[in-house]
């Protein structure tokens, strides 16, 4: 009995230690980025590297939005860089609109495909093909006809693509939530003379509200982080945050401080959204095929 | 049918109106359903079906934007673009690298994820906090993960600092100048970001398994490994397959990390297939050649997933 107790105790301690190590591994890269983002230029690649900055400065963040403003010496260095304000405005316009559109269209289609098998049994599976292939494969033909439609470097082009390429997630996640609503409730309302629209919006919709919110936040994460399509279809006017991040890593080169600061700012909205829907992350990434 | 005066005398009329009402209801249902899926159908036509038709057409012509003619006026090349692919070593090398990422990253993510999931099956202090900490990498933008690992592996970055502390000042490694090491850092970043996904899915899969078979096996005297290998693993198989198929498809697309961390370099030694098609189509401007490569990829992925999905459908 004693030895079993001891074994259980050492087992728990070992698991706890492993937990700490795992935590450290997953936290360190982000902590390093955070640390650099608060360092003045002379500390960016100082040797030996320090986890906690000697002199904490916020000028890396300020300079992102005011490149000409020489704050703490950083500003003068990056005065050539473009301000990230435009990218932020674009992301803040494009991502919510595309997310809302994807959610509405996905919800309507999910309802029709689960309740009436509208479009045939294989339609939902067919929608999954939009996520099977590398987006670059679709980007080739899309570029050709978006150019013909005059959509290159516009927010509209991104909204259309982001709506379309997240519809598979909106459809499949909300399907799961709709299946959770008993059909008998809807049938009872229909027998009482309610129209199908009424049933959908006053009975089903309120019951899946929470699920829709989770789906919406998940799609928001996908759209906010999308890079390849934005990189191809925008050049100046409609660039988004991830494109701006890549500009900082590539062109601005050695300006590690602002680069890190931009990484932090770009991550905050999605990490917040992700933690709100923690429980649904697996459901999201597996199209609802695996539920928690 | 029935004698007159009976309340059900007009049965045939009643049946007719019932039928028409039923038909109306079905019609209404069908109409309603069709209406609801129409926006999605339009999007699918706009972003999936029409582009697929265009990409196939483009792959059969010889067209580059700089030719000055519109793409529908370009001369036919028939299968010449495809023939070119088969002699294009850079294409096959890029395919090989993307597959390498799928195997190396996917395999390690699965192994580490499963290990963590098993570790987390028992309680220990702080488990909930650790679980939430593990989650966040998969929410981050890929470009930010690339940026973080780029900063970690800089010549004068913390990784090299730790190495020089352990192995002396000669241990500084130029991570992004060596093809194999550069690829390694990309795979490492992918593992760091996506192990949480496999962990989470396996962890919730393990938690949802019925307890009885395990207890039965224990009563029969099976040891831990036997129970894991012959009881737990087979029950977990459907979840594992879904997770691996989804992760493999995603890992094959790998672009953002490469673009940010190495730009495909040194040379073209870390160029994945997404990056190569991107360059051919959008940097070199050879759109019809890029289209042919895209079509080939579509065909290959369709074939591979058909085989991969079969066991899921059967299971």
- Percent of residues, chain A, with pLDDT higher than 70: 92
Q: A30 forms bridges with which residues in the sheet? A: none
Whether A118 sits inside 8 A of B37 (CB atoms) is yes
pLDDT at B142: 95
Does residue B10 register a pLDDT over 60? Answer: no
Does residue B69 register a pLDDT over 60? Answer: yes
Taking one residue from A and the other from B, the number of pairs with CB-CB distance under 8 angstroms is: 294
CA distance B274 to B277: 5
10 Å CB burial of residue B239 (0-12, 13-18, 19+) is buried
Does residue B310 register a pLDDT over 80? Answer: no
Does residue A131 register a pLDDT over 60? Answer: yes
Stretch 116-155 of chain B: residues touching chain A, C-beta under 8 Å: 116, 119-120, 122-127, 129-130, 132-152, 154
Output B125 or B138, whichever has higher pLDDT.
B138
- A5: CB partners within 8 A, 6+ apart: none
Q: Which of A105, A100, A65 is nearest to A83 (CA)?
A: A65
Is there a contact between A113 and A262 (Cβ–Cβ < 8 Å)?
Answer: no
DSSP string of B198-263, one letter each residue: HHHHHHHHHHHS-SHHHHHHHHTT--HHHHIIIIIHHHHHHHHHHHHHHHHHHHHT--HHHHHHTT
Does residue B68 register a pLDDT over 50? Answer: yes
- Apex B279 CA angle, B274 and B284, nearest 5: 155
Task: Grade residue A78 by pLDDT with cuts at 50, 70 and 90.
Answer: low
Q: Which residues of B touch A163 (CB under 8 A)?
A: 43
Residue from A13, A16, A17, A19 whose CB has the most chain B CBs within 10 Å, to mutate: A19
- At B61, give phi and psi (nearest 5°): -115, 170
For residues A67-86, give the mean pLDDT. 63
- Percent of residues, chain A, with pLDDT higher than 90: 53
Ranges of beta strands (E only) in chain A are none
Which tokens hold the place of B39? 């926006």
The alpha-carbon gap from A259 to the nearest alpha carbon of chain B, in Å, equals 8
Task: Grade residue B2 by pLDDT with cuts at 50, 70 and 90.
Answer: very low
For residues B257-275, give the mean pLDDT. 93
pLDDT at B315: 54
Whether A127 sits inside 8 A of B44 (CB atoms) is yes
Does residue B50 register a pLDDT over 50? Answer: yes
For residues B228-238, give the mean pLDDT. 89
pLDDT at A77: 56
**Domain residue ranges of chain A, discontinuous segments joined by +:** 2-59, 85-285
Task: Grade residue B167 by pLDDT with cuts at 50, 70 and 90.
Answer: confident
For residues B69-88, give the mean pLDDT. 89
Maximum average pLDDT range among A1-5, A97-101, B201-205? A97-101
Q: Which of B29, B122, B139 minimises the CB distance to A116?
A: B29
Which tokens hold the place of A156? 């509209």
CA distance B211 to A95: 44
Task: Grade residue B171 by pLDDT with cuts at 50, 70 and 90.
Answer: confident
Q: Which of B28, B134, B133, B305 is nearest to A194 (CA)?
A: B28
Residue from B45, B141, B308, B311 whose CB has the most chain A CBs within 10 Å, to mutate: B141
Q: Which of A109, A165, A242 minimises the CB distance to B143?
A: A242
Does residue A67 register a pLDDT over 70? Answer: no
Does residue B4 register a pLDDT over 50? Answer: no
pLDDT at B5: 46
Whether A11 sits inside 8 A of B37 (CB atoms) is no
Q: Which residues of B touch A47 (CB under 8 A)?
A: 156, 161
Whether A105 sits inside 8 A of B55 (CB atoms) is no
pLDDT at B9: 47
Whether B48 sits inside 8 A of A271 (CB atoms) is no
Q: Which residues of B touch A45 (CB under 8 A)?
A: 154, 156-157
CA A152 to chain CA centroid, Å, is: 23
Task: Grade residue A3 by pLDDT with cuts at 50, 70 and 90.
Answer: confident
Output A92 or B154, whichever has higher pLDDT.
A92
Does residue A66 register a pLDDT over 70? Answer: yes
CA distance B166 to A233: 46
Is B113 within 8 Å of chain A by CB? no
pLDDT at B172: 82
pLDDT at A266: 95
CA distance A116 to B201: 31
- B69: CB partners within 8 A, 6+ apart: B63
pLDDT tens-digit series, residues A187-214 = 888 888 888 888 999 999 999 999 999 9
Is there a contact between B269 and B158 (Cβ–Cβ < 8 Å)?
Answer: no
Classified by CATH at the fold level, domain A85-285 comes out as MetI-like fold (1.10.3720)
Task: Grade residue B199 by pLDDT with cuts at 50, 70 and 90.
Answer: very high
pLDDT tens-digit series, residues A254-288 = 788 888 999 999 999 999 999 999 888 888 888 88
The alpha-carbon gap from A70 to the nearest alpha carbon of chain B, in Å, equals 24
Does residue B27 register a pLDDT over 80? Answer: no
Does residue A28 register a pLDDT over 70? Answer: yes
Q: Which residues of A touch B200 (CB under 8 A)?
A: 281-282
CA distance A186 to A174: 17
Which tokens hold the place of A60? 């890396």
pLDDT at A62: 86
Give the residue carrying structure tokens 């500084």: B172
pLDDT tens-digit series, residues B81-125 = 999 999 999 999 999 999 999 999 999 999 999 999 988 888 887
Stretch 281-300 of chain B: residues touching chain A, C-beta under 8 Å: 281-282, 287, 290-291, 294-295, 297-298
pLDDT at B85: 94
pLDDT tens-digit series, residues A88-122 = 999 999 999 999 999 999 999 999 999 988 888 88
- At A117, give phi and psi (nearest 5°): 50, 35
pLDDT at B3: 43
Residue from B147, B242, B265 whose CB has the most chain A CBs within 10 Å, to mutate: B147
Whether A165 sits inside 8 A of B47 (CB atoms) is yes
The alpha-carbon gap from B11 to the nearest alpha carbon of chain A, in Å, equals 23
């Amino acid at each position: 009995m004693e030895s079993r107790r001891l074994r259980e105790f050492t087992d728990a301690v070992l698991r706890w230690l492993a937990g700490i190590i795992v935590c450290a591994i997953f936290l360190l890269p982000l902590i390093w980025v955070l640390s650099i983002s608060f360092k003045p230029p002379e500390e960016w690649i100082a040797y030996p590297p320090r986890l906690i900055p000697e002199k904490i400065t916020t000028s890396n963040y300020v300079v992102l939005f005011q490149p000409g403003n020489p704050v703490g010496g950083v500003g003068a260095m990056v005065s050539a860089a473009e301000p990230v304000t435009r990218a932020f405005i674009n992301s803040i316009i494009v991502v919510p609109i595309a997310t809302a559109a994807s959610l509405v269209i996905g919800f309507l289609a999910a309802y029709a495909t689960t309740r009436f098998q509208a479009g045939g049994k294989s339609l939902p599976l067919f929608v999954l093909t939009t996520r099977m292939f590398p987006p670059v494969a679709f980007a080739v033909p899309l570029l050709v006809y978006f150019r013909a439609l005059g959509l290159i470097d516009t927010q509209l082009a991104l909204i259309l693509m982001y709506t379309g390429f997240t519809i598979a997630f909106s459809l499949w996640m909300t399907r799961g939530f709709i299946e959770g609503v008993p059909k008998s409730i809807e049938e009872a309302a229909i027998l009482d003379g309610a129209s199908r629209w009424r049933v959908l919006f006053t009975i089903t919709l309120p019951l899946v509200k929470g699920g829709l919110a989770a789906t919406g936040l998940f799609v928001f994460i996908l759209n906010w982080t999308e890079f390849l399509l934005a990189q191809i279809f925008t050049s100046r006017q409609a660039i988004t945050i991830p494109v701006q991040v890549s500009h900082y890593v590539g062109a601005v080169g050695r300006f590690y401080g602002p680069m890190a600061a931009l990484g932090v700012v770009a991550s905050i909205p999605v990490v917040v959204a992700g933690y709100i829907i923690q429980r649904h992350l697996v459901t999201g990434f597996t199209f609802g095929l695996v539920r928690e | 049918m029935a004698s007159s005066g009976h309340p059900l005398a007009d049965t045939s009329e009643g049946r007719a109106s019932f039928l028409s009402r039923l038909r109306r209801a079905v019609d209404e249902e069908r109409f309603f359903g069709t209406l609801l899926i129409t926006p999605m159908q339009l999007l699918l036509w706009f972003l999936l079906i029409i582009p697929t038709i265009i990409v196939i057409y483009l792959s059969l012509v010889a067209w580059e934007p700089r030719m000055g003619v519109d793409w529908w006026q370009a001369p036919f090349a028939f299968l010449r673009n495809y023939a070119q692919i088969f002699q294009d070593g850079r294409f096959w090398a890029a395919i090989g690298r993307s597959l390498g990422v799928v195997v190396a990253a996917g395999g390690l993510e699965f192994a580490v994820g499963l290990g963590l999931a098993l570790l987390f099956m028992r309680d220990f202090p702080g488990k909930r906090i650790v679980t939430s900490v593990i989650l966040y990498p998969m929410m981050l933008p890929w470009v930010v993960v690339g940026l973080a690992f780029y900063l970690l592996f800089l010549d004068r970055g913390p990784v090299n600092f730790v190495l020089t502390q352990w192995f002396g000042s000669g241990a500084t490694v130029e991570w992004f100048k060596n093809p194999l090491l550069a690829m390694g850092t990309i795979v490492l970043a992918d593992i760091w970001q996506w192990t949480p996904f496999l962990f989470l899915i396996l962890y919730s899969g393990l938690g949802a398994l019925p307890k009885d078979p395990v207890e039965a096996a224990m009563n029969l005297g099976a040891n831990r490994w036997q129970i894991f290998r012959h009881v737990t693993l087979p029950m977990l198989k459907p979840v594992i397959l879904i997770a691996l198929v989804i992760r493999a498809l995603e890992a094959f697309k790998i672009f953002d990390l490469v673009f940010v961390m190495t730009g495909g370099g040194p040379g073209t030694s870390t160029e994945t297939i997404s990056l190569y098609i991107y360059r051919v189509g959008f940097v070199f401007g050879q759109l019809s050649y890029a289209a042919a490569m895209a079509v080939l990829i579509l065909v290959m992925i369709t074939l591979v997933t058909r085989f991969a999905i079969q066991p899921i459908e059967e299971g």
